[in-house]
Amino acid sequence: MSAVPAGDPSGHTHHRVHGHGAEQDRALAGLRERKKQRTRLALIDAALDLFLAQGYEATTIDEIVAAVEVSQRTFFRYFGTKEDVVTSFLTEHDQVLEEALAARPPEERPFTALFESLRVVLRTIAESDPADSARFRRVRQVIEATPSLMAAQMARYSASAEALATEIARREGVDMEQDLRPRIVVSFYLAATKVAFEDCARHDIWDPGTVAARVEEAVTLVSRTMRDWV
């Protein structure tokens, strides 16, 4: 008796069905991932609309989920807190920066490596699609208008600084517990970006491309300032 199913004298149908099933599974997984991303972005957009219209503190999670017509359970599937709706968007940029720094040539000097990694993040912001550009602008506006989010921003800076300093120490082969230079050079870098973002806010500049150019100018100015003023 043949082990091949009836109607399949070649024995290949089983393999084609299996392959088709795998392709279908991948397609379904991709569809689910796109749906999750749409839901996440819809929650961010609704939250930003409400934050800008009535203030961050005055906005509740109930109002955010009502605007998207999902449950609180769905909200907490994507965000741990209301604050995360704002800060998670910028945390993605921190991850891009850390990955870019790890990929820089090992012979590059630390501040140059940080600066070139920053260029990757700035290009990501400046070249993002219009919807992402609008989110970046509104996230910055909400943060600058909300003291509690400014405090969260400082905590984010601190976490990013530690990750970047750890990578600089690894690249330079030094022990951060004994050598302060990795933290010092990262502090210079982060201070420059912070000053640039705050300067843009003071001048009501929110366009991602313009903000990116201002940040790059500020970081470029660091080495000249250190040479001329210190």
**When comparing pLDDT for 146 and 93, which is higher?**
146
Residue 137 — very low, low, confident or very high, per pLDDT cuts 50/70/90?
confident
- 69 and 86 in a single domain? The answer is no
Tell me the C-alpha distance between 131 and 44, whole Å.
11
| Span between the terminal Cα atoms of the chain, in Å | 90
The lowest-confidence range among 6-10, 114-118, 127-131, 191-195 is 6-10
Mean pLDDT of 99-106: 94
Q: Answer yes or no: do 93 and 142 share one domain.
A: yes
68 pLDDT higher than 90:
yes
Q: Tell me what pLDDT residue 31 has.
A: 67
Residue 16 has pLDDT above 60, yes or no: no
In a domain, 33, yes or no: yes
Q: Tell me the three state secondary structure of residue 178.
A: coil
144-149 average pLDDT score: 90
DSSP 45-81: HHHHHHHHHH-TTT--HHHHHHHHT--HHHHHHH-SS
Query: CA gyration radius for the chain?
Result: 24
Asked if pLDDT for residue 139 goes beyond 60, the answer is yes
pLDDT value for 228: 84
Q: Residue 19 domain-assigned?
A: no
Task: Determine what percent of the chain is predicted with pLDDT higher than 70.
Answer: 87
Question: 195 and 159 in one domain?
Answer: yes
Structure tokens at 81: 């807190």
Highest mean pLDDT among 14-23, 172-181, 184-193: 172-181
Same domain, 92 and 199: yes
**How confident is the model at residue 184, as a pLDDT?**
93
Q: How far, CA to CA in Å, does 92 sit from each of 68, 89, 111?
A: 23, 6, 22
List of long-range contacts for 37-46, beta carbons under 8 Å, 24+ apart: 39/68, 39/70, 39/74, 39/78, 40/78, 41/131, 41/135, 42/68, 43/68, 43/70, 43/75, 43/78, 43/79, 43/85, 44/85, 44/89, 44/135, 45/135
**What's the mean pLDDT when you consider all of the chain?**
84
Question: Does 225 fall in a domain?
Answer: yes
The last residue of a domain, from among 59, 80, 101 = 80
